[in-house]
Copies of this chain bind each other. A is one copy, B any other.
């Protein structure tokens, strides 16, 4: 005898661009994922689709709700979509994941263009809104934030066994492509301002702290973000360690005092952790 375990379904990679027109245009460029959980057992076991909102309908809904609801932060749009889908049939949880790809005005001789833009690249802003019977939870964050410290990063004092060859180092490059999210404990007056403030704290703390390891950095950065913003309850970070290895120039008669590196991505360290307010706090 078999039974259905956990399951979910939805539509991914819905590419939505909104041009907000006026004297000065604004470009909103989103990738939206919709995922629903609920009592969908009959669809699986009986092929009964009477409760299965078509993923094509999800896509249509994202576009249809954009004119009225994508007029502020992606968190607001995500909340509206999550609530909409929670009301659809036997849905018990609706999760909306949004990535926003930033565009900035192009510079002209007359200043920033009102109607021409450049995709900024670099980090992508993210928001995940989850609606269920308990209400709506919103995680905000940033992904693909590639940052590097060229000093004040060490890794030493680690255990050595028969398979350990890594040298202790008190000054190394630390580079990562960070994914960072934080859980919002409230609805702020200004999502954009909160996001900007937290990314500023994240970056400034990354820049200025002395790191004993990626783990240590995650703790220091996460703590600083929680201290900076009372409205968030936890910070989760995934930080690959993108190794930069010092090149041995001695065969060529050269020296290399921390100047010349080979950048690698395979293999890479991967460190992930959540830092949160203590229950007693």
Q: Name A's B-contacting residues (CB within 8 A).
A: 1-21, 25, 27, 29, 33, 35, 40, 43-57, 59-61, 63-64, 66-67, 88-89, 103, 106-109, 113, 115-123, 144-152, 155-159, 161-166, 173, 200, 203-204, 206-208, 211-216, 218-219, 222-223, 226-227, 234, 236, 240-241, 244, 247, 249, 251-254, 256-281
Contact = CB atoms under 8 A, between A and B. Distances in A.
Given A66-B260, A260-B67, A274 B18 contact: no
B54 A164 contact: yes
Contacts of A19: 150, 173, 258-259, 261
A258 B148 contact: no
A253 B162 contact: yes
Contact of A52 (B145, B215, B219): B215
Residue of A40, A145, A263, A279 with highest tally of chain B CB at under 10 A: A263
B155 A49 contact: yes
A109 B49 contact: no
Nearest to A9: B271
A3 to B, nearest CB: 5
A106 B204 contact: yes
Given A148-B27, A206-B116, A213-B49, A13 B267 contact: yes
A277 B213 CA distance: 44
The main secondary structure of chain A at its interface with chain B is: mixed
A164 B60 contact: yes
B156 A247 contact: no
A50 B149 contact: no
A274 B115 contact: no
22 contacts: A1-B277, A1-B278, A2-B275, A7-B271, A7-B272, A8-B272, A12-B270, A19-B259, A27-B150, A33-B270, A44-B215, A46-B216, A47-B211, A51-B159, A60-B251, A64-B252, A67-B254, A118-B147, A118-B203, A121-B123, A162-B252, A265-B266
A63 B147 CA distance: 23
Contact of A263 (B29, B147, B218): B29
Contact of A260 (B18, B46, B89, B262): B18
- For the complex of A and B, the 9 pairs showing the least CB-CB separation, nearest first, are A121-B121, A47-B212, A5-B274, A121-B122, A116-B207, A7-B273, A119-B146, A113-B207, A44-B219
Contacts of A7: 215, 271-274
Given A12-B270, A260-B66, A251 B165 contact: yes
Contacts of A106: 147, 203-204, 206-207
Contacts of A1: 277-278, 280-281
